[in-house]
C-alpha cells in the first residue's frame, strides 16, 4: 500500500508532530511505501505572510497545489491528512478525491468545528460552535485572543461545513477516543466513517519493581491543563509535586509551595522519572484529544490521577488504572494524590492494570494494525461505490 501523509507542522513542536513521525515510521515498518508532505508554520514570517495566510485559509490554493503535485508524482492509494491548518486547508480532500486516492483525516483536535480547537472558553468546556454558527467564536476571540484571527478560522469552518467537505470528500476519519467520536458525530460528521484508533507508542519495556516515590506532572504549563488547580492542590500536600514542562504559566507557578519546577526534560529523563513516580497527575480542564502522557504513564506501569472530563473519563478506569476527580477541585485532587502516596500497594496494583491496558490498546503493533484496517475499509467502500455508480 502506498500512503502519502500530509501534515502542517506547528511553530512550537508538540505531541501531534511526534505522532505523525512515529505513525509514518510504523507504517513503513509494516510494509507500506510511505512519503510525508510537510508544511511548516515557520514559513509565515512577515505581517504580509500572516494576512495572506488568513485570507487564503479556507482553501489555501498554494498548499492544495503542492498536495496535488505530490499525488500526481507519488501515485498513492491513500492520502492521510493530520493537521491541515493553515497552509493546506480541508480543500485538499476534494482535490485528492478527484484524482482517485482514498482520503483519510485524523482528528487530533476539534478545529473542524471550533475556532479555538479545544471546545473550551473561559476555563470551561464550550460546545456553542459544535452545532451552531462558527462565527459565534469571533465575539469571544477564541483563536489566540484575536477577533481577526478567529474570523479567519471561523470562515474556514463555515465554508467547508456549507460545502459538504466533511460529508462528501473524506472517506474515513480517525478519532482518538470514543468521546471525541461522539462530539464529531454531534458536529455533523457521518458516523459510519468515523473510526476510533488511539495513537501508538513504542514499548519502553517492562516496568522495574523498585519502590516508587513522588508525584509527577508532565505537560504544557497552560490554563487548559489545570496547572493552577494543581498549584492550589499542592499547597495542601505533605510532599511536593514534580512539574516537568514549560509554558505561559511558568511565572505563576514559580516559587509556589508544594511544587518543584523541573523545566522541559530530555525524553530519556522524562521516561525515567515517569517510571519511578507513584502516579502521574493530569488535572486538565478541557476535553483533551489523547494526551500521550497517559499512554506513556501506562506503558511505564504508572497509574494516572486525572480530571473526570471528556476523553480522560474514558481513558482512566477509576480505581483500576488510576483515580478520577472532579475537574477544577484542588481539594479532591490533593486527596487523590495523598491516597496513592499513602497506599503504595494500591498504587502498584493500579500500575500493573495500567501496563496491561497499554499492552492491549496502545502498542505500536496494535495501533498500526488498526490503521491499516481503516485504510482497507475505506478502499473497499470506495471500490464498492464506484461499482454501484458504473
Asked whether residue 56 carries a pLDDT value surpassing 90, the answer given is no
| pLDDT average, residue stretch 3-9 | 96
- pLDDT value of position 8: 94
Q: Using one digit for the tens of pLDDT, what is the confidence trace for 193-220? A: 999 999 999 899 999 889 999 999 999 9
Same domain (yes/no): 228, 261: yes
Band (pLDDT 50/70/90 cuts) for residue 323 is very high
Q: What is the residue range of 225's domain?
A: 215-361
- pLDDT value of position 11: 63
Asked whether residue 10 carries a pLDDT value surpassing 80, the answer given is no
| pLDDT average, residue stretch 164-189 | 96
Which residues pair with residue 305 across a beta bridge? 281, 323
Average pLDDT, the chain: 94
Same domain (yes/no): 192, 308: no
- pLDDT value of position 14: 67
- pLDDT value of position 296: 95
Same domain (yes/no): 268, 339: yes
Same domain (yes/no): 293, 239: yes
Total domains in the chain come to 2
Q: Using one digit for the tens of pLDDT, what is the confidence trace for 120-156? A: 998 889 999 999 999 999 999 999 899 988 999 999 9
Rounded CA gap, 306 and 294, in Å? 9
Same domain (yes/no): 187, 239: no
Residue 141 is assigned to a structural domain of this protein:
no
Residue 118 is assigned to a structural domain of this protein:
no
Same domain (yes/no): 322, 376: no
Same domain (yes/no): 78, 19: yes
Residue 157 is assigned to a structural domain of this protein:
no
Rounded CA gap, 290 and 282, in Å? 12
Same domain (yes/no): 28, 174: yes
Same domain (yes/no): 344, 381: no
Q: Are 35 and 5 in contact (CB under 8 A)?
A: yes
Could you tell me the CA-to-CA distances from 154 to 40, 136, 139 in Å, in that order?
21, 8, 11
Same domain (yes/no): 311, 264: yes
Residue 175 is assigned to a structural domain of this protein:
yes
Same domain (yes/no): 371, 357: no
The dihedral through the CA atoms of 338, 339, 344, 350 has a sign that is: negative
User: How far is residue 194 CA from its own chain's centroid?
Assistant: 16
- pLDDT value of position 76: 98
* Residue 334, all three cell numbers: 490533593
Residue 225 is assigned to a structural domain of this protein:
yes
Residue 144 is assigned to a structural domain of this protein:
no
pTM value is 0.90
| pLDDT average, residue stretch 109-118 | 94
| pLDDT average, residue stretch 221-247 | 96
Residue 126 is assigned to a structural domain of this protein:
no
Asked whether residue 39 carries a pLDDT value surpassing 70, the answer given is yes
Band (pLDDT 50/70/90 cuts) for residue 290 is confident
Asked whether residue 30 carries a pLDDT value surpassing 90, the answer given is yes
Residue 295 is assigned to a structural domain of this protein:
yes
| pLDDT average, residue stretch 5-30 | 87
Q: Using one digit for the tens of pLDDT, what is the confidence trace for 340-354? A: 999 999 999 999 999
Rounded CA gap, 307 and 125, in Å? 13
Residue 303 belongs to domain with CATH number: 3.40.50.2000
Same domain (yes/no): 318, 382: no
Amino acid at each position: 500500500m502506498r500512503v502519502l501523509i500530509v501534515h502542517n507542522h506547528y511553530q512550537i513542536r508538540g505531541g501531534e508532530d511526534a505522532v505523525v513521525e512515529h505513525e509514518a515510521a510504523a507504517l513503513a515498518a509494516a510494509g507500506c511505501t510511505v512519503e510525508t508532505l510537510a508544511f511548516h508554520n515557520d514559513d509565515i514570517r512577515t505581517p504580509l505572510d500572516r494576512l495572506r495566510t488568513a485570507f487564503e485559509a479556507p482553501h489555501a490554493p498554494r498548499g492544495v497545489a503542492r498536495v496535488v503535485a505530490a499525488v500526481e508524482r507519488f501515485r498513492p492509494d491513500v492520502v492521510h491528512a493530520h493537521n491541515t491548518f493553515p497552509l493546506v486547508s480541508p480543500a485538499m480532500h476534494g482535490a485528492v478525491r478527484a484524482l482517485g486516492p482514498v482520503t483519510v483525516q485524523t482528528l487530533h483536535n476539534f478545529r473542524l468545528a471550533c475556532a479555538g480547537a479545544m471546545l473550551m472558553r473561559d476555563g470551561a468546556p464550550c460546545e456553542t460552535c459544535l452545532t451552531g454558527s462558527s462565527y459565534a467564536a469571533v465575539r469571544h476571540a477564541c483563536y489566540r485572543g484575536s477577533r481577526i484571527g478567529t474570523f479567519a478560522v471561523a470562515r474556514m469552518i463555515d465554508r467547508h461545513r456549507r460545502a459538504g467537505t466533511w460529508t462528501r470528500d473524506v472517506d474515513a476519519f480517525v478519532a482518538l477516543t470514543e468521546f471525541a467520536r461522539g462530539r464529531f458525530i454531534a458536529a455533523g460528521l457521518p458516523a459510519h466513517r468515523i473510526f476510533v484508533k488511539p495513537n501508538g507508542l513504542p514499548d519502553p519495556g517492562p516496568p522495574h519493581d523498585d519502590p516508587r516515590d513522588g508525584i509527577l506532572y508532565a505537560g504544557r504549563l497552560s490554563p487548559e491543563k489545570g496547572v493552577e488547580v494543581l498549584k492550589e492542590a499542592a499547597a495542601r500536600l505533605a510532599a511536593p509535586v514534580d512539574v516537568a514542562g514549560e509554558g505561559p504559566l511558568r511565572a505563576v507557578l514559580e516559587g509556589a509551595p508544594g511544587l518543584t519546577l523541573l523545566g522541559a526534560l530530555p525524553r530519556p529523563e522524562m521516561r525515567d522519572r515517569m517510571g519511578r513516580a507513584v502516579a502521574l497527575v493530569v488535572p486538565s480542564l478541557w476535553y483533551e484529544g489523547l494526551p500521550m502522557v497517559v499512554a506513556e504513564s501506562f506503558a511505564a506501569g504508572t497509574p494516572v490521577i486525572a480530571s473526570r472530563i471528556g476523553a480522560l473519563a474514558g481513558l482512566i478506569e477509576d480505581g483500576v488504572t488510576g483515580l478520577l476527580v472532579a475537574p477544577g477541585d484542588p481539594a479532591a485532587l490533593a486527596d487523590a494524590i495523598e491516597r496513592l502516596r499513602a497506599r503504595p500497594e494500591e498504587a502498584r496494583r493500579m500500575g500493573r492494570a495500567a501496563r496491561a491496558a497499554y499492552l492491549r490498546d496502545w502498542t505500536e503493533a496494535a495501533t498500526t494494525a488498526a490503521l491499516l484496517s481503516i485504510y482497507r475499509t475505506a478502499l473497499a467502500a470506495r471500490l464498492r461505490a464506484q461499482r454501484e455508480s458504473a
